[in-house]
Every structure is written in structure tokens, then in C-alpha cells.
Structure 1
């Protein structure tokens, strides 16, 4: 399951890498997603598997395209990362610990019966420009991202297209016809990953976020997936435990943003 949790994360970024503006390099030593905009989430190193021989030179080569463009970036450290002490070595190359995500998984074959209860919002899939606009409006506010980041994801999502047959799908929760929550699901080879679960501040504590998560789980089960996975913030873990998710691993995130700010 550890590998499947990481693979889903890698898979969703590989899907976004179909957007022509992305410089995506899936090589033996690491995956590099270079969105080319000055926002760390859009520039990442993943699945690093380095030999200890010449490791410092290898790290420098991986970081080179980010440094050449002066891009803020993230380096993900997960269960598959090699060598095991790689995070200690990153400090010598200008990267510092930023935060971590908790890899969690839920067995959909034992989904609790109350997962099918009435939802507190009307959930609709993003299928056109209007529903994409609703999704982006909530995404921008909740995650507090700059307009150029919203524009990047909007263009990528338009390029990938919409439809129930696609691997990366997005949903909007409507309360009284107003978009108040969002979520996304990525269907990988083994798992369905839940992403971008967010609710506007004025509509929290009403079970809406839980409803958006349950809707994603139900969609995954309808598609025949046994496992739903996600990458939660430490604060979100108790919420997802109530939905049947269990902690499986931790993914630490290192970044150069502190160096760029100095």
C-alpha cells in the first residue's frame, strides 16, 4: 500500500504534465515536474532513487533546472526514497524542511453504510467552462493562491478536458446554487486518490467537507476501485480517520523557498 499511495501522487502530476507548458522529466534517478511559474507546488522533485556514490553531484544535477530559472520548488521524501538519509543530505544543497503530508488509505469494500446518506450539498462534476469557473473560484479562496497559479491550473485542466471517462476528475459542492466546496479524484492503476478537498470558511462545520470526501469515495467504488488514498495534513488526519482512512506513511517535503527569500 505504501507504494500505491506514492504512485497515485506521482500519477496525478504525470497527468498534469500532459499540459504542454510543463517540463516533465521521468528519469531513473527522479521525477521532475517543472511548471515554470514562481510557485513551489508547481515545481517538484519526486521518487528520488539515488546511489550513494556521487550523490552530491546527482542532487545538484536534479536541482539545476530549478536554479537556472530561479524557481521555488519542493522535494518530496517518501517510503520509496533512496538512500534513506537523503533528507539529511538535502540541507547541504540549500533545501530545508517545509512540512509533511500523511499518506492514508481506506478500504472501499468495507465502506461504512452511512457513506450513502443524504448529502448537505448538491455535488456536480466539472464538465464545462461554467462549472470549471465555479471550481476555480472556491479553489482560489480556500487555498489562498495567487491569480497566476489559478490561471496555470485552469489552463492545464482545460487542456486535459472533462468527462467521466478521464482519470482526473473534479467536483463542485453547491449550497443554494452557490459553489461552496470542491474536490478532485485521480484514478490510478491501483487506487483512486482524493485531492483538493476544500470548503469555504463560512460553510465549514456543516459536514460539507465530509460530504465531498464521501462523494469521491463513492465515485471510486463505483469505478471498481477497492482502495481510496489521500495525502492529508497532520491536522486533517482525525477527520479522515472517521471516514475509514488509516495512516500508512508520511511524506516529508523539503523546499528552497527559505533560501530564495533571503
Structure 2
């Protein structure tokens, strides 16, 4: 893999595919695309599940008509990810109601070169059990994701999403591999691998606040890397806050660009 624009595009394609796949599980055929922008509508009032991914700078009126007007009519929040090399006009987007949030670092790795052991902690808790999520575990996974999102409203929508997956045949959602970490039987952390055609993506890694700084997140991250190494994919991609990129870097990822993030709340 060449760690350049092509690697950043790999991250953003996976982000587009992940957004459309998750939305389509509940709301089929509600991902739309025009040149340079993809819009996915989950049918829920969720800023995390309703996403717009832009890979080119376009006039604000295009974003207004294609994304903002669409979700505003439905009184629904959404997240805009902007991955182009040239930035958007933040002030123009703010006037439209799109507020800039912390950017994410696009990261990519060749799976065969990953070093999961770099994520190992010296004091890993022997009482921590990390396992794949089965149908009967989806409610517990939902609780962890909801608690980690920082918003009661968003958490309620995430619970609806994950609990709705119980009624969807596993083969129809097979591209999502959920993982749950339990400490002495209590769910404390969760994360997901998403398989697109050209890469695996790491998503939604969260550790409950009361259990942070205890090596649990590192153990979960290591487990997901080991799961990736058992797949047939060549590449693994992720988005990470700038202050949390050191662990992926230590394990074999490369930072390949910045992805700006904006949120709309009606």
C-alpha cells in the first residue's frame, strides 16, 4: 500500500460503505450519491447513523439542497464528513447550521504488517473476556455503545438500531462483526469490524468511562487487530482523534490525512 492520497481514499470509501450498509439494514435504498458526495439515511433520528461523506469541495448551495434540506425536512440530525484535500468554508457551513467538531485522522495499515502485541498492556486483567457478539448479546452491545456516545437522545436511537438487528438474519448483516469486552461478567467495552470489498474498517471503539485507564481499550484494540489478521483482507482502515493515534501508529498504522467532521442538530 502506498501511504498517500490513494490510502486516504481507501479510508473514505470504507466510511461511505459503512454508512450506507448500516443505514440500509433498517432503511433500504436510502443511500443516494451525486458527484463528490454520498448521503445515507438510517430512518432514525441519529447523528451517528445518518451520514454524509464529501470528497470534493462544492458550493454550499449543493450541500444545502442535497444534505441539509433533506435531513432538516425530516427533523433529523446527521454528520458530515469532508475528506477532500481542500477544506470547506467553515463559516458558510455554520450559517447553514453545520457545526465543526474535532477532525479525525484517517489511518491505514497493511494487515500482514500489523503488530497486535504492541497494544498489549503489562497489567492486562485476567478477568477480562473479549468475544464476538451473538444475537442474544446485541442488547448488551447496544447499552455500551449508547452509554459511550455522550447523549441521551443519541443513545436511545443507537439502542433502537442495535436491537432492530436482532430481527435481521445474521447473513444479511454479516459484514458487521461486533465485539464485546466483559469484566467479571459486566459489559465494559465494545467495537466493530466492517468488511468492504477492498478493506476492513475499525469502528465504534468505546470503553465505559468508569473503566477507562485500565488497559481495557488496548486489550479490545489488540483483539480486533488479531481478528483482522484472520481475515482475507489486505488492508485495515480507521478514523482516530489526533490525541488517540499513537496506539494505532505503534501497531503498524500510518496516518494518511485528515477528515473534517461537522454535525447538524435540528
The answer to whether the aligner puts 1:217 opposite 2:222 as a matched pair is: no
Give the structure-2-normalised TM-score: 0.81
Contact persistence 2:139–2:163 (CA under 8 A): no
> Which blocks of at least 5 consecutive residues in structure 1 are unaligned?
none
The answer to whether the aligner puts 1:191 opposite 2:199 as a matched pair is: yes
Return the offset for 1:222: 0.8
Could you tell me which residue of structure 1 aligns to residue 175 of structure 2? 167
Could you tell me which residue of structure 2 aligns to residue 42 of structure 1? 49
Q: Give 2:108's match in structure 1, choosing from 105, 110, 134.
A: 105
Cα distance, 1:85–1:137 mapped onto 2, change above 3 Å = closer
Cα distance, 1:91–1:226 mapped onto 2, change above 3 Å = same
Cα distance in 1 for partners of 2:96, 2:116 equals 50
Could you tell me which residue of structure 1 aligns to residue 3 of structure 2? none
Question: Hey, which bits of structure 1, 4+ residues long, moved more than 6 A?
Answer: 116-119
Q: How many positions carry a matched residue from both structures?
A: 251
Could you tell me which residue of structure 2 aligns to residue 68 of structure 1? 73
The answer to whether the aligner puts 1:31 opposite 2:18 as a matched pair is: no
Which secondary structure does the structure 1 equivalent of 2:26 belong to? coil
Cα distance, 1:101–1:68 mapped onto 2, change above 3 Å = same
Cα distance, 1:156–1:47 mapped onto 2, change above 3 Å = farther
Contact persistence 1:2–1:79 (CA under 8 A): no
Q: Give 1:235's match in structure 2, choosing from 220, 243, 247.
A: 243
Could you tell me which residue of structure 2 aligns to residue 20 of structure 1? 26
> Which blocks of at least 5 consecutive residues in structure 2 are unaligned?
1-6
Cα distance in 1 for partners of 2:74, 2:120 equals 50
